[in-house]
Structure 1
C-alpha cells in the first residue's frame, strides 16, 4: 500500500511517532533527509532482525523517487511484513510540496 507525500507531510508535522525508513545511499541521506532511519536498500536483508518486532506495525519507506522504496516494500512484504507503505514520488515529490 502506498502513502502520498501530502499524507506523510501532514503526519510528520503533527509529530506522529512513525516507523519511517530511508533506503537511499548514505551520501544522498547526508545531502537531504526527512528524519527517517537510514537503511540503504542493499543492506535491508541485514536489518531484518531489528525490523522483526515491527512485522504487524505500519512501516513507511521512502527513497529519492519511489523506485527503491517500492522494491524495499515488496521485499519486506515477501518476508511477512503486513503493513509496509511506499512514499509515492519519494523525497523529490516531498520537496516539491515545500516550494
Structure 2
C-alpha cells in the first residue's frame, strides 16, 4: 500500500499540485474540520460512491488516524483504483482546515 505523510501532502498542496483527497471519516467528524478541498465519502458509503470516481485518477485517502483510510485504500486498489493512504490521518495534519 502506498502512503504519504501529512507533511508531504501539505508540501504538494503548497505547490498547487492538483490532488484529489477523499476524507472517509463520518460526516460529524468532518464537521470539526477537513483538509481544504477534500471530498467527504464516509468509509461505509465508499462502495456505493465508486461510480463517482475515475479509475484514471489518483486518490489520497484520509481519516482520523490512518486506519479507516488504509481500509479504503485496500478496497479501492482491489477495485482497480490508484489510491494512497495519508499516514497518521488528521491527527498528524498541521495544515489549514475548512
TM-score by length of 2: 0.89
Shift of 1:14: 2.0
* Counterpart residue number, 1:86: 85
Moved over 2 A (4+): none
* Counterpart residue number, 1:28: 29
Q: Which has the higher helix share?
A: 1
* Counterpart residue number, 1:10: 11
Structure 1 residue ranges without an equivalent (≥5): none
Mapped to 2, the partners of 1:22 and 1:28 lie a distance apart of 10
- Alignment counterpart, residue 44 of structure 1, candidates 37, 43, 46: 46
Mapped to 2, the partners of 1:15 and 1:38 lie a distance apart of 20
Structure 2 residue ranges without an equivalent (≥5): none
Shift of 1:29: 0.4
Give the RMSD, CA atoms, in angstroms: 1.4
Number of residue pairs matched by the alignment: 94
TM-score by length of 1: 0.88
Q: How does 1:41-80 map to 2 (within 5 A)?
A: 41-51=43-53, 53=54, 55-80=55-80
Mapped to 1, the partners of 2:52 and 2:92 lie a distance apart of 29
Shift of 1:85: 0.3
